[in-house]
Structure 1
């Protein structure tokens, strides 16, 4: 009976989104994952990390910031509110993926994975406040946000391809080289969080515990890994040309080169200008774009076949546009 169906099943019987709509919903989760990283960085760079003094309330006895808390309270609380926007976007993707016919359990699982990562990171964010911006917890908060971005990018890719068994488009050694690129970039991101935890931008104007390391030495290690990532990217580019790989991964590698060049310029600017807040924030944006590009290159080296057009179930509203074959984007 219809009344015994769960809400998602009832929506699926009444609404049939197009394949393009599901892809756009998946892309929206990627955009919001980037936004949450950048705005989280803005909280730290404006010294608003303890703008709300407790969690889940903003201040004891008040869910929202009070007048006495000033702009820092508004900034920190605004970042908390963005979590609800992020949940709404992830929820839209889950609903669209579930309503799409035929049902793709792998896609809905990725949507639910995003939801639970968001919930987990909200708790980590609360612990960050309750521990007075402990740098290790702050680093974990950023890394969980990166995990959310990773799942979102994979969801975006999966929304653009079929469900056949994955087939490599290049030889195994080439795939292994792409794995090395992913691992090196992940290490670069991890070291970047250590630089943040030891560096001068603690997130609050009051004295905050820092990671007891020389942040300039850690920065040099971070730069060394930048060279490793660039070297692996160049090696992969020439390898793909040598094996006559499809055009899509080579095009995505060019996009990666563009992001690396942008990030490199910003990195040197922030170093020689003594880490101004705005430039550091742009550097955080660049780090998310580099990670997205690396994942896209890696995922483009295998395929799962095109999306197939399947008649909608009886009683479902027809989509406004017919599903199209997946591209290699």
Structure 2
């Protein structure tokens, strides 16, 4: 498609978003990625997983829930509709990143990656319904949402920094320790997903939903062991950063992660010893997102790509927009 016919180029010719707007749009993607995880958890915890028994319509004869389906149909359908809100937010981020001058292709690519992840996870969600809440598909649905959150956090970080070649702020062994922390946290989240798949919250009370055939106590113990590993690695990284006199930013991010991790552990223990009440399980899912955001922020803080170019003055913005205005008037 010629540039003159590209809708994104047409927008870029007429609108120059500020760097602040691009950052806020990227952050909105992070927020919506968390919201979609929490609301998806609410669907399961309210036994609304099959509130709409088919997909992509709610019933064979209706796109929306019928009165006979009750509150469960409304909850499940609302979660489906939130996917369109998420698409809209990601769309704004893509358009803003594309229209911003100078053009930063890395931001645009990260935005499109989010769009395709949303689309693919929507299909996985449909398969989840069509397979009667198969726990393996449900788990993959959550992990795909975590992948979306990962890309959203990276885009948010890239929107806040420059485009210089990455420069390590710490020695290579310290960055390797950061990698180990990220991988251990990822494994912790995966095992937590298995705990959910073998636990009592199947997602629908009216149907005998298949569960992962594992002893929930044993898999929970493995999850607890991994919590201890991640906690130990977080403390170790903090001491290492202090020992090598690293910049204040990475150490501050590690402290933030430690605080989130301790709060998440507390919620998990209270949840386990109280037979997993729905409200605490939902809080634990939110905590899972916050832990993952925190560990990504730790890892991304260990390198630097320079400062983002300063926001242009109003006069500078007018000067930047003048060629686009002239081009538009000559058409």
Q: 1:256 maps to which residue? A: 257
Q: After superposition, where does 1:161-240 map in structure 2 within 5 Å? A: 161-205=161-205, 206-240=207-241
Q: How does 1:20-35 map to 2 (within 5 A)?
A: 20-35=20-35
Q: How far did 1:5 drift?
A: 2.7
Normalized per residue, which structure has more helix? 2
C-alpha RMSD of the superposition:
1.3
**CA deviation vs aligned residue, 1:259-299 (integer Å, no higher than 9, x gap):** 01110110111011110000100000001000000000000
Distance 2:25 2:222 in 1: 38
1:50 is paired with a residue whose SS is: coil
1:301 paired residue number = 302
Match of 1:327 in 2: none
Give yes or no for the alignment of 1:36 onto 2:44: no
C-alpha distance in 1, partners of 2:28/2:239?
33
Whole-angstrom distance in 2 between the partners of 1:315 and 1:215: 64
- Give the paired residue count: 316
Q: Which has the higher contact order (CA 8 A, sep 6+)?
A: 1
Q: Is the 8 A contact 2:3 2:9 kept in 1?
A: no
Q: Does 1:268 align with 2:269?
A: yes
Mapped partners of 2:257, 2:173: distance in 1:
20
Counterpart in 2 of 1:80? 80
Match of residue 10 from structure 1: 10
- TM-score w.r.t. structure 2 length? 0.93
- Residue in 1 aligned with 2:329? none
The alpha carbon displacement at 1:249 in A equals 1.0
Instruction: Provide the C-alpha distance between the structure 1 equivalents of 2:152 and 2:37, rounded to a whole number of angstroms.
Output: 13
Equivalent-residue separation in structure 1 for 2:89 and 2:183 (angstroms): 29
Structure 2: 5+ residue runs without aligned partners?
326-331
- Going from structure 1 to structure 2, the CA distance change for 1:172 and 1:73 (only over 3 Å counts) comes to same
1:28-177 correspondence runs (5 A): 28-177=28-177
Cα deviation, residue 3, structure 1: 9.0
Q: Distance in 2 between matches of 1:276 and 1:120?
A: 31
Report if aligned partners of 2:121, 2:145 keep a CA contact under 8 Å in 1.
Answer: yes
1:213-259 deviation per Cα after TM superposition (whole angstroms, max 9, x unaligned): 01111000000000000000000000000111111111111111110
> CA contact under 8 A between 1:14 and 1:315: conserved in structure 2?
no
Distance 1:57 1:262 in 2: 39
Shift of residue 121, structure 1, vs aligned partner: 0.1
Q: Is the 8 A contact 1:16 1:99 kept in 2?
A: yes
Find the aligned partners of 1:302 and 1:174 in 2 and give their Cα distance.
11
1:316, distance to aligned residue in structure 2 (A):
4.4
> What is the deviation of 1:4?
3.2
What SS is found at the alignment partner of 1:315? helix
Task: Please give the alpha-carbon distance, in whole angstroms, between the structure 2 residues aligned to 1:286 and 1:204.
Answer: 23
1:178–1:3: structure 2 CA closer, same or farther, 3 Å change rule? Answer: closer
Q: 1:246 maps to which residue?
A: 247
Separation in 2 of the partners of 1:286 and 1:3? 44
Q: Distance in 2 between matches of 1:315 and 1:16?
A: 12
Cα 1:271–1:75 change in 2 (3 A) is same
